[in-house]
Amino acid sequence: MSNLTPDDVLAALKAVVDPARNMDVVALGMIQGLQVKEGHISFALEVAAEEGRTKEPLRLACEKVVLALKGARSVTAVLTAHKAPTAAPTGRAGSPDRQGPAGVKAVVAVASGKGGVGKSTVAVNLAVALSQLGRKVGLLDADIYGPSIPRMLGLKGKPSSKDGKILQPMQAWGLKAISIGSLIEEDRAMIWRGPMVMTALTQLIYEVEWAPLDVLVVDMPPGTGDAQLTLTQRVPLSGAIIVSTPQDVALIDARRGIAMFNQVRVPIFGIVENMSTFVCPNCGHESHIFSHGGARETAAQLETDFLGEIPLHIAIRETSDGGTPITALDPKSPQAKAFIDLATRVAAKLDAGNTRTGPRITME
């Protein structure tokens, strides 16, 4: 067990001097959000917005001195700007003024208005199914506070880097994948403010060797907060998929998610109804535990496509918890077929260059 304290970390960081001001980073007040737990250390290095790119060597120097401390098991340092980011361009999210990750042809967001609807399960199995259709696929876990992709893909260890700057994505089930969850301990809480989250997301998108990819699937965090806006403003999204369960409460939040993407002019590929129907594995009786058909009706009301129904089935839950997605473990099963059908529809939209946005929705 590590006995490292925040004071130990700050003492080490006093050895790191910002050459531009000839003072150490602690004296300059650049260290923010310091967290130390059982040898796992995280903090932000606050810099001026215009200095972001030039301060990467300083960030690496901070990580190096802290990692050298006795008892330090891992160090996560991110750059964050104290100046608010500029407003998003008024043009469509896929416009040329936004550059996507190098070597990535398309970026698809899998989102939900609320948590608990199985968004990550859909994102993982969609990505695997797209790979089975012959696409080169990456999967980005953008949920900084609740990363689940490492568990769902059975990823072990941490990503490597050839040059100490660009991460090599991890590999599983035919996918390239990256997650903050692979950089920290599984049960560790990320107690970060918005700017730190936005900086971390930007690094996971642009400082990972994704290329070559046909499509990068982004497992978005739930809701419509800072992280979602960061992604929609900085990445040229090809489209968004909204995941919901059939009940009214989830669909209200799904409409909010659609409203957000419409407001930032990201095309809506459609809505997926997850946990749509439960079929008893013993008797075959079909039950609509969370109601049924609500997502289809909502899609019709909002004039967007309905992409399919995913059943509520124990095999999907067990394979997700076990790190063996149902689409990889049992691709011929009815449960996997639902995801493969979804992937086929998404692939067709990508091939067609679908950029249709839904009607503008205003949420009071």
Per cent of the chain over pLDDT 70 is: 84
Q: What is the dihedral of CA 226, 228, 232, 233, to 10 degrees?
A: 10
pLDDT (0 to 100) of residue 49: 65
Phi, psi at 81, each rounded to 5°: -100, 135
Task: Give the model's pLDDT for residue 98.
Answer: 58
Q: Name the residue ranges covered by the structural domains of the chain.
A: 6-81, 107-352
Q: What pairs with residue 171 in β-bridges?
A: 176
Task: Tell me the pLDDT band of 17, cut-offs 50, 70 and 90.
Answer: very high
Architecture of domain 6-81: 2-Layer Sandwich (3.30)
State the DSSP code for 95: S
DSSP code string of 28-86: TT-EEEEEEETTEEEEEEEE-GGGTGGGHHHHHHHHHHHHTSTT--EEEEEEEESSPPP
pLDDT at 6 over 70: yes
Q: Could you give the percent of the chain with pLDDT greater than 90?
A: 40
Q: What is the mean pLDDT of residues 322-344?
A: 94
| 176, 205 contact by CB (below 8 A) | no
- For the cut 80, the answer to whether the pLDDT of residue 358 exceeds it is no
CA-nearest of 252, 316, 314, 312 to 288 is 312
Distances (CA, A) of 203 to 121, 158, 178, 179: 24, 16, 11, 11
Q: How confident is the model at residue 193 (pLDDT cuts 50, 70, 90)?
A: low
**What single DSSP character describes residue 222?**
S
pLDDT greater than 60 at residue 353: yes
Please enumerate in sequence order all residues whose Cβ is within 8 A of that of 12, keeping only pairs 6 or more positions apart, or say none. Answer: 65, 66, 68, 69
pLDDT tens-digit series, residues 124-133: 999 999 999 9
What order of strands is seen across the sheet that includes strand 74-81?
31-37, 40-47, 74-81
Give all strands (DSSP E) within 132-224, no chain letters: 137-141, 170-172, 175-179, 215-219
In CATH, the architecture of 107-352 is: 3-Layer(aba) Sandwich (3.40)
